[in-house]
């Protein structure tokens, strides 16, 4: 046998076929090496030591950080390896809150699973950390630092994939913790509530915030009529919690389960997705014809919207004014369906089942309530729905499928594919093409916008003109494209943005799957569901047509705009005086950037930032100067560091900064 192409694992030769580390080769051989800190889509960290193996001639090595080399002889289950794994788990458990029966991750916790698997039956070490407060001040995510095992998965996800860095390691030694900057809570920093940190967290340290009890309470209230909407991506993932394969559509069983629970009407968010396309497609055409800001950004993803509000408020005019399908559904349900059902809208409770944690935040935005009455009252994730089905004792696999209720249960394939990256773009093209070309689109598929790449570009010809499109998923990729747009290097006309990798099918509220192709199979399930329907274009939905004729008037008209559109505002990245102080657009303004990294912060950067903001305000320079906080100029030994325009000032104080500001303004004048 050619030893140049193989490694030997426990006496068996296993081929090397492009794997980036030994862990992947060992997994391929049929051995499931335990690990906490290894997530294939993230960088290698090698902190948990659970994947330790013994390599002949090298001793103990972490398999996740060791590249495969031909001829290596590896042993995965020696006495020493097993002992290391048990001790590592005992040390983790010593500082871990061990209230497993009441933990939301009970039976689905990697720490719990590996403790049983490795054979830890007692913990010999005493805890050295004191209990810390639970961060549950936001609507989307609960952070319990007492259950954190310091694997760093959440930190790397937030930084590498999402490009935000809302949480990170702080302090040193046994005092090290994972937390937002300056010990703030998640609602006080630039977290966008995408929840991808909860998806990779192996314990209950980061979890979606549950609204199950609130939904049960509404269902038990005889004065309330509770209706529910099911998001597109839910139907191809919920079944995984009950033994189905990823991508299997279980809409009929979901409807049956919800009816048993007591929901009065079960509708489909895909109906509202069709409605969204009518308004968004019309808005895009209007922008083209009237030379309004381009490229137009989709606005269906609330995490993406919040990301722009916090980081690029000057680009908000590019954001579609359309509400998301979730919020359009809520508006129609309470303002159209409630009167038709002869009930007051305040007596209707709208529940959303979403693959997304950011949707919980979105439903509570003040823009989406009127006189204290929210358009959507409660949002539960796919995971929460599975929990409710189990709580009720419903035998999901034995249910006979039932039909969605009309009219808000009817949809076209365009609405269904919303759950995939590229789905919103493709659905919009199916509408825009017919409106601009003035002819029927025989083949509704636009394969050029499909795919798995995080940044995808395409061109489409309409009325003899070529339009450039882009489809983006994950916020780090979004940041890359936005920076190009700001530099004039990305002449797109229309861009779809989704914050979660692969789109809503991989949202943080979906069942967590270890299967390698679960994203691909979920996407395939939605595209196949599109093919199974008779109608594939939103403008073909007869109930959408009826809604416009009876209630909304013209597409994009005054009535439709009032009910289905909204506006967005600039948001400060962190509450308190330490972040963006002087708000506004930065077009042609002098930017003052003050580093508030740990070193500069300890040297007085926060006070300097505050005094600079006051100086700008007192001098009436708000139209000329923009004060911002930033991380990091990598001059920690020379702080505080301030950048005035292009000039970097080390060991800066207020006098140095104001002199530089006055000089810069004088040059500009």
Catalytic site positions? 280, 283, 300, 320, 359, 362, 367, 504
Q: Mapped to the 3 state alphabet, what secondary structure does 595-641 carry?
A: ECCHHHHHCCHHHHHHHHHHHHHHCCCCCCEEEEEECCCCCHHHCCC
**At 349, is the secondary structure helix, strand, or coil?**
strand
Rounded Cα distance, 470 and 462, in Å? 16
**DSSP H or E stretch at residue 265:** strand 265-268
Dihedral of alpha carbons 522, 527, 530, 532, sign: negative
What is the Cα–Cα distance from 303 to 163, expressed in whole angstroms?
Answer: 13
Q: What are phi and psi of 246, to 5 degrees?
A: -55, 135
Instruction: Give the CA distances from residue 95 to residues 37, 92, 133, 207, 463, in Å, rounded to whole numbers and listed in that order.
Output: 17, 6, 15, 19, 65
CA distances from 410 to 261, 333, 405, 565 (A): 22, 14, 8, 22
Closest CA to 497 of 326, 299, 254: 299
Relative orientation angle of helices 605-618 and 654-668, to the nearest 10 degrees: 40
* 328 contact partners, CB below 8 Å, separation of at least 6: 272, 275, 276, 279, 322, 564
Residues sharing a CB contact under 8 Å with residue 95, sequence separation 6 or more, in sequence order: 127, 128, 129
Q: Are strands 455-462 and 225-230 parallel, antiparallel or unpaired?
A: unpaired
Q: How many residues does the chain have?
A: 669
Residue (of 429, 427, 431) closest to 459 by Cα position: 429
Following DSSP, what letter does each residue of 76-114 receive, concatenated? SS-HHHHHHHHHHHHHHHHTS---GGGSTTTTS-HHHHH
SS3 of 357-400: CHHHHHHCCHHHEECCEECCCEEEEHHHHHHHHHHHCCCHHHCC
Q: What are residue 167's DSSP bridge partners? A: 180
Q: Rounded distance, CA 288 to CA 282, Å?
A: 10
CA-CA distance, 24 to 517, in Å (whole number)? 15
CB-CB contact of 422 with 496 (8 Å): yes
Q: Peptide bond preceding 86: is omega within 30 degrees of 0, i.e. cis?
A: no
93-122 burial: b if 16+ Cβ within 10 Å, else e: bebbbbeeeebbbeeebbbbebbeebebee
Task: Give the DSSP H/E element, type plus range, for residue 461.
Answer: strand 455-462
Structure tokens at 560: 């439709």
Element spanning 311, H or E: helix 302-311
213: cis peptide before it, omega within 30°?
no
């Amino acid at each position: 046998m050619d030893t140049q192409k193989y490694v030997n694992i426990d006496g068996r030769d296993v081929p090397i076929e492009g794997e980036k580390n030994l862990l992947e080769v060992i997994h391929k051989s049929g051995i499931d090496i335990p690990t906490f800190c290894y997530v294939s889509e993230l960088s290698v960290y090698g902190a948990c030591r659970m994947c330790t193996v013994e390599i002949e001639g090298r001793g103990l090595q972490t398999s996740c950080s060791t590249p495969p080399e031909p001829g290596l002889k590896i042993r995965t289950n020696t006495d020493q390896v097993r002992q290391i794994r048990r001790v590592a788990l005992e040390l983790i458990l010593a500082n871990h809150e061990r209230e497993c029966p009441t933990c939301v991750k009970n039976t689905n916790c990697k720490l719990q699973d590996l403790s049983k698997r490795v054979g830890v039956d007692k913990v010999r070490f005493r805890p050295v950390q004191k209990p810390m407060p639970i961060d549950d001040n936001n609507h989307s995510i609960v952070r319990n630092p007492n259950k954190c095992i310091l694997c760093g998965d959440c930190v790397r996800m937030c930084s590498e994939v999402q490009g935000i860095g809302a949480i990170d390691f702080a302090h040193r030694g046994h005092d090290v913790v994972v937390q937002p900057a300056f010990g703030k809570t998640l609602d006080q920093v630039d977290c966008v509530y995408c929840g991808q940190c909860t998806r990779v967290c192996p314990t209950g340290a980061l979890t979606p915030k549950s609204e199950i009890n609130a939904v049960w309470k509404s269902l038990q209230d005889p004065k309330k009529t509770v209706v529910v909407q099911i998001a597109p991506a839910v139907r191809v993932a919920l079944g995984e919690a009950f033994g189905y394969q990823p991508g299997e559509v279980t809409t009929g069983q979901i409807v049956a389960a919800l009816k048993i629970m007591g929901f009065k009407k079960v509708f489909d968010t895909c109906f509202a997705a069709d409605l969204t396309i009518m308004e968004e497609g019309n808005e895009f055409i209007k922008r083209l014809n009237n030379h309004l800001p381009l490229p137009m950004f989709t606005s269906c993803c609330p995490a993406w919207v919040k990301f722009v509000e916090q980081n690029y408020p000057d680009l908000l005019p590019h954001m579609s004014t359309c509400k998301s399908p979730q919020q359009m559904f809520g508006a129609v349900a309470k303002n159209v369906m409630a009167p038709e059902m002869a009930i007051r809208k305040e007596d209707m409770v709208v529940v959303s089942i979403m693959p997304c944690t950011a949707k919980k935040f979105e439903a509570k935005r003040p823009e989406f309530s009127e006189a204290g009455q929210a358009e959507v009252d409660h949002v539960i994730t796919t995971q929460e729905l599975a929990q409710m089905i189990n709580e009720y004792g419903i035998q999901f696999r034995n249910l006979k499928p039932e039909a969605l209720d009309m009219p808000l249960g009817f949809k076209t394939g365009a609405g269904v594919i919303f759950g995939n990256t590229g789905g919103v773009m493709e659905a919009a093209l199916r509408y825009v093409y017919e409106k601009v070309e003035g002819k029927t689109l025989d083949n509704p598929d636009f394969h050029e916008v499909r795919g798995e790449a995080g940044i995808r570009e395409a061109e489409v010809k309409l009325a003899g003109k070529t339009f450039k499109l882009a489809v983006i998923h994950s916020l780090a990729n979004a940041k890359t494209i936005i920076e190009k747009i700001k530099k004039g290097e990305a002449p797109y006309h229309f861009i779809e943005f989704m914050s979660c990798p692969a789109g809503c099918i991989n949202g943080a509220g979906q069942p967590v799957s270890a299967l390698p192709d679960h994203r691909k199979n979920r996407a395939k399930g939605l595209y196949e569901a599109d093919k199974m329907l008779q109608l594939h274009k939103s403008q073909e939905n007869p109930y959408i047509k009826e809604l416009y004729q009876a209630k909304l008037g013209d597409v994009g008209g005054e009535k439709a705009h009032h009910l289905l559109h909204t506006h967005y505002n600039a948001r400060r990245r962190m509450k308190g005086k330490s972040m963006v102080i002087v708000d506004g657009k930065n077009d042609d303004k002098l930017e003052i950037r003050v580093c508030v990294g740990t070193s500069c912060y300890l040297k007085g950067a926060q006070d300097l930032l505050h005094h600079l903001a006051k100086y700008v305000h007192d001098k009436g320079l708000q139209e000329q100067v923009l004060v911002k906080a930033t991380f990091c100029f990598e001059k920690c030994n020379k702080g505080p560091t301030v950048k005035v325009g292009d000039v970097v000032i080390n060991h800066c104080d207020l006098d140095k900064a104001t002199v530089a500001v006055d000089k810069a303004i004088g040059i500009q004048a």
